[in-house]
Amino acid sequence: MSFTAELRDTYADLFEAFWSHPFFQGLLDATASKEAVVHYVGQDRQYLAAFLRCYGLGMAKAPDTDWTRFFLEGARIMLEEEPDAHRALVAHFGVDYDTSQAPRLAPTAQAYANHMELAGHDTLGVLMAALLPCQWSYAWATLRAYREETPGPDHPFRAWFAFYASEECQSLVAEYRTRIDALAAAAGPEERGRMERAFVDSMYYEVAFWQMAASGETWERLPSRVLEPRDAQ
Ligand SMILES: Cc1ncc(CO)c(N)n1
């Protein structure tokens, strides 16, 4: 079995948690609240900016121009096409995409971005393993949505589902997997272990990102005793 097929198998529970999270299910049955969706889009916009910086770290590691082109194409899709998927989410609530920006990443989203960036200071294989869940979880879950209960033409978030389930996003995942499988096959057991860890942590953060959106997590929502510590005893 390939490295990524083994990851899929071993961490099937995380894929299921991603699918069944109430926020994703709320997008699927179109019951997600305006507040949660707008919070999600504001955070995700900044998350994607962080992801693009990781593509920059990948470019700095590219062993040849084939890899450079891979990162370039991934960045192009993220810059030019993914924002339209976001627009489709907030448009349903009459919210303008450009005004749904968050001033900064919430703790969970920041932790995820930090994790990916740190992986960008390890090997190309570790970086790729940390980036894979972003592409894979969305492409997998939206394709499953199409197979199980196709978001129809009247679905308010149809364009969002259609983007991630598209042939373009599916083949991007396939390409990520081919490249990661080759890197894993060439890596020693220690590096492969770090690749697995990087992947699992990102999968965990993908589920946590839904929770961040659903709960409206921000730094400001920390309990007041943390923000305003009492005098030291
Ligand atoms: C947090 C997160 N993960 C994955 C994707 C898919 O690109 C996204 N837009 N946001």
Cβ of 89 less than 6 Å from ligand 1: no
Q: What does the pLDDT look like over 26-46, one tens digit per residue?
A: 999 999 999 999 999 999 999
**Residues 61-99 pLDDT 10s:** 999 999 999 999 999 999 999 999 999 999 999 998 888
**Ligand 1 center to residue 112 CA distance, Å?**
11
* Ligand 1 centroid – CA 136 distance (Å): 9
**Cα of 206 to ligand 1 centre, how many Å?**
8
Ligand 1 center to residue 139 CA distance, Å?
Answer: 10
Q: What is the ipTM of this complex?
A: 0.98
Type of residue found at 210: W
198's tokens: 């990087």
Q: Which residues of 142-178 are buried (b: 16+ CB within 10 A; e: fewer)?
A: bbebeeeeebeeebbbbbbbbbbbbeebbebbeebbe
Q: What is the pLDDT of residues 207-233, one digit of tens each?
A: 999 999 999 999 885 666 665 665 544
CB 55 within 8 A of CB 134: no
Cα separation, 44 vs 48, in Å, equals 6
- Report the range of poorest mean pLDDT among 14-28, 90-104, 122-136, 190-204: 90-104
Q: What is the pLDDT of residue 81?
A: 95
Closest alpha carbon to 106 in 210, 12, 186, 231 = 210
Copy the structure tokens of residue 144.
Answer: 């499953």
- DSSP labels for 38-87? HHHHHHHHHHHHHHHHHHHHHHHH-SSHHHHHHHHHHHHIIIIIHHHHHH
Across the chain, mean pLDDT equals 94
134 lines ligand 1 (CB under 6 A): yes
| The pLDDT of residue 224 | 64
Question: pLDDT digits over 135-193, tens only?
Answer: 999 999 999 999 998 788 899 999 999 999 999 999 999 999 999 999 999 999 999 99
The answer to whether the CB of 44 is under 6 A from ligand 1 is yes
Give backbone dihedrals phi and psi of 232, rounded to 5 degrees, phi first.
-60, 140
Q: Is the CB of 165 under 6 A from ligand 1?
A: no
Spacing, Cα 151 to ligand 1 middle (Å): 19
Averaged over 115-137, what is the pLDDT?
98
- State the burial class of residue 5 (Cβ atoms within 10 Å of its Cβ: 0-12, 13-18, 19+): exposed
Tell me which CATH homologous superfamily contains domain 3-215: Heme oxygenase-like (1.20.910.10)
pTM value? Answer: 0.94
pLDDT the model gives residue 233: 47
